[in-house]
Amino acid sequence: MTLTPAPPAAVVAQTRTAPPRKRSRSRTRFAPYLFVGPAVVLFVLFMLVPIIYAAYLSFTSYKIQGGGILGTKSLVFAGFDNYVSVLTDPALASGFWHLGLYSAIAVPLTLGLALLFALLLDTPGVRATRFGQTAIFIPYAVPGVIAALLWGFMYLPSTSPFSYITKALGWGPIPFLESSGIFGSIANIAVWGGVGFNMIIIYTSLRSIPAEIYEAARIDGANERQIALRVKIPLVIPALLLTGIFSVIGALQLYSEPTTLKPMTDIISQTWVPLMTIYRNAFLTDDLPGAAALSVLLAVGTVALSGLVLWISNRRTKGAQS
């Protein structure tokens, strides 16, 4: 009688543990989808669906059916009529003119001050660096409406401490809320709140530069100012471009500051910037399709401008590398 030898214990153990390995591989395969899934769902619900609905509304118009007080309002297809009406509206051109003047003041000042503060904090031997970072960053944590209210009280001639000093000197109040000073006043609020965020991005980029590069520059006789101008700034250009895109997008979204200051001055109208025109069309004149058309145009313009900046940045980066 021939007896079949029993399988080794290791083979038996491997056979028994095979199913858990398959389950482990299956879990590993689906893990990225589980992590990305919630973000995709939120993006679809709160970004993609509203964009598609706004694009749909921009090609419609209201039509009263039935007549009289019993008539009902319904949406009908209107083609590009809303876009033609929006693009020929003089208020839109005036709004973009105001937006351009504001951006010409706010964007360069925000980037320039953020770069200056980042370079100062990165200078060897500077004390109280953490306090400086916190002090510059804190205004970014203040909501835009609160910041506009705070600065609005400092702009009003009756409550402004700056105008109090100039009036005491016999110079009269500072025209913060007049036509000659309104752009600088609004830009000041945006700069005060935006410098800290951009400074953190640039400062983080500066801290990632290897110290050997600085040591080599010092051995060659470069002082701290020359290192900042010829070494640090060229190496943080990608961070400057990123903050520049953020600043341009933020400028195109100007709304809370002029809306908050509007009750304090007659200079700011309901259509002072494009987003205020969108709000007027949607909620004051009940022209929701017109507001949707202007929203789509503003979104497409913002994406195109951001893409143009990225394209120029990539071309310069490739040119420098070649």
Where do the domains of the chain lie, and which CATH numbers do they carry? 31-77 (no CATH), 80-320 (1.10.3720.10)
pLDDT, tens only, 163-181: 999 999 999 899 999 988 9
Which of 80, 88, 87 has the alpha carbon at shortest distance from 59?
Answer: 80
> What DSSP character marks residue 170?
T
CA–CA gap between residue 290 and residue 175 (Å, rounded): 35
Cβ atoms of residues 155 and 261 within 8 Å: yes
Res 321: pLDDT: 59
Average pLDDT, the chain: 85
Token pair for 138:
């804190």
What integer is the mean pLDDT of 231-247?
Answer: 88
Side-chain-side CA neighbours of residue 283 (13 Å): 7
Res 74: pLDDT: 80
Q: What is the pTM of this model?
A: 0.80
Res 2: pLDDT: 43
Cβ atoms of residues 202 and 115 within 8 Å: yes
Q: How confident is the model at residue 309 (pLDDT cuts 50, 70, 90)?
A: confident
Q: Which of 63-67, 74-78, 153-157 has the highest mean pLDDT?
A: 153-157
Res 311: pLDDT: 83
pLDDT, tens only, 122-145: 988 888 888 888 889 899 888 888
Per-residue pLDDT at 104 exceeds 90: yes
Cβ atoms of residues 270 and 145 within 8 Å: no
Q: How confident is the model at residue 42 (pLDDT cuts 50, 70, 90)?
A: very high
Res 134: pLDDT: 87
Q: How confident is the model at residue 310 (pLDDT cuts 50, 70, 90)?
A: confident
Per-residue pLDDT at 3 exceeds 50: no
pLDDT, tens only, 279-295: 998 898 888 899 999 99
Per-residue pLDDT at 189 exceeds 60: yes
Per-residue pLDDT at 322 exceeds 80: no
The C-alpha torsion from 179 through 184 and 185 to 191, rounded to 10°, is: 160
Res 318: pLDDT: 66
Q: How confident is the model at residue 149 (pLDDT cuts 50, 70, 90)?
A: very high
Q: What's the CA angle centered on 46, arms 41 and 47, to 5 degrees?
A: 95
Res 224: pLDDT: 87
Per-residue pLDDT at 25 exceeds 80: no
Token pair for 237:
């250009």
